[in-house]
Structures are given as C-alpha cells and as structure tokens.
C-alpha cells in the first residue's frame, strides 16, 4: 500500500484528497454486477432520466459490503481517519450518459438519524421517505469524513466534483457569500477504481454531463462521535 501520510496531510489542509488504484478492474466489475441485479422498486431508490440513486446503500445491498471494504480501503480508513471510525451514511449515485443533473456549490450539513426530536443545537430537520436528517452542532460535522468510490473515469465533462480548497476550515460557509477574489476552484478528476476523500464542510458542486459518459459513485460517510443518547445514527455500521 502507498504511503498514506501525504494524503492525510492533503485532506487535513485542503479538505480533500484523490487516491487512484484502490480497486482493481475485477473488483469494480463485481461491485457493478451486484448493483445491476438488485430490485429497484424500493422506497429508498430514486430513478429519473437524470439520476439513479440508492439511499442507505450498504443497508439495502448488504452483499456489496465485503466487495467495497477491501484491504486497501480498510487500511485507508484506519490510517487516515483512525481506529474508531464507523459508517454513518451511504448512498449510490448513477449520473447516466445523458444526464443534465447539475449541483450548485454547497456543504453537506445534515446527518441521517433514526428519529426526529427536540434537541438543543440540532436543527433544522428534514424528512425524506421516512428518513430523518438534521443539521447537528459543528463539532460533529467537523469530525466526519467522506469516501467517494468511483466506478467510472470521471472528469469535468461527466460531472466530476469541483471544490473550493480549504473551505472546510471556515465553519458554515454560505455559497452565496463565496468571494471569488480570494477563493479558487479545483476540478477533481478521478480514475475508475479510485477514491476521493473529503470533509463534508468542503464547498463542492458538479456540472452537467457533456461527453455522453456515465458517472457512478458510492458515497460513504464515517464518524467516531456518538450522538446524544436519545438519538442514533440511522445507518451505523462498524
């Protein structure tokens, strides 16, 4: 395995890092086959011309877990995040070849939890398909890491993420207040089988697909923080 300290430093300093060659061609093929053979009629699946998404991905398709958490990925989680991190959220995104799906700059400010209740410093709340999401206190958001696994080559022509380096260190940063005289934009091209590590407070977005190539991504979030005892992570998985 490559020396991970460089990537750990990049993630800390810039809020993101790209590591290619984490999954082999064969591993990507096996993961893709499992996804291809699932029943897509469930409530947690969203299908349109522009996007196919599976919420609670690891819960809905448990047979994919062993394929995703290969030795490379487990080493990255342990050495870059730390020993005590666990899964708190997972989504599968498929931007089809003709997708016009465009995502404006934003931070990922909510977490998925098991119920809605009144808690100090937790809010606002949203509910989608009986799934509860809430904006937690900043210290919880600052401790979350995201891994995005790419099942296709991705660049600026098929919806690669564009990010604003170091924006993760500025707390809640409203996109409408971005000062482009001091901020720069970076496009995160990633090879098939590569991953992107990022902090959820990093400002990020993506453009429409223009090259007729699909972009499939598995998005998994991790934390080592427990929530107040009356609230649980909805997808907690060690």
What are the residue ranges spanned by the domains of the chain?
A: 5-223
What is the CATH T-level fold of the domain 5-223, as seen in this structure? Jelly Rolls (2.60.120)
Instruction: For 86-100, write each residue's pLDDT tens digit.
Output: 999 999 988 776 667
Instruction: For 222-235, write each residue's pLDDT tens digit.
Output: 999 999 989 999 99
- Please report which residue ranges of the chain form alpha helices under DSSP H: 5-14, 25-36, 57-60, 65-68, 71-76, 138-141
Distance CA 224, CA 201 (A): 16
Task: Return the percentage of the chain with pLDDT > 70, whole number.
Answer: 95
Q: State pTM to two decimals.
A: 0.94
3-state percent helix, strand, coil for the chain, nearest multiple of 5: 25, 30, 50
Instruction: For 23-38, write each residue's pLDDT tens digit.
Output: 999 999 999 999 988 8
């Amino acid at each position: 395995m490559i020396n991970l300290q460089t990537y750990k430093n990049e993630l800390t300093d810039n809020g993101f890092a790209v590591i290619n060659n984490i999954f082999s061609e064969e591993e990507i093929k096996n993961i893709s086959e499992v996804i291809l053979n699932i029943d897509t009629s469930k409530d947690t699946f969203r299908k349109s011309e522009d996007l196919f998404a599976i919420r609670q991905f690891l819960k809905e398709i448990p047979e994919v877990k062993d394929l995703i958490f290969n030795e490379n990925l487990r080493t990255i989680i342990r050495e870059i995040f730390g020993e005590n991190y666990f899964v708190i959220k997972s989504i599968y995104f498929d931007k089809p070849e003709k997708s016009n799906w465009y995502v404006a700059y934003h931070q990922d400010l909510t977490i998925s939890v098991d119920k809605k209740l009144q808690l100090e410093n937790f809010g606002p709340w949203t509910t989608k398909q009986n799934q509860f999401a809430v904006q937690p206190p900043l210290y919880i958001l600052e401790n979350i890491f995201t891994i995005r696994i790419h099942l296709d080559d991705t660049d600026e022509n098929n919806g690669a993420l564009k990010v604003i380096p170091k924006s993760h260190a500025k707390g809640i940063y409203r996109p409408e207040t971005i000062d482009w005289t001091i901020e720069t934009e970076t496009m995160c091209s990633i090879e098939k089988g590569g991953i992107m590590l990022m902090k959820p407070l990093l400002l990020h977005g993506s453009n429409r697909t223009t090259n007729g190539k699909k972009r499939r991504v598995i998005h998994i979030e991790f934390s080592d923080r427990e929530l107040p005892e009356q609230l649980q992570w909805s997808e907690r998985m060690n």
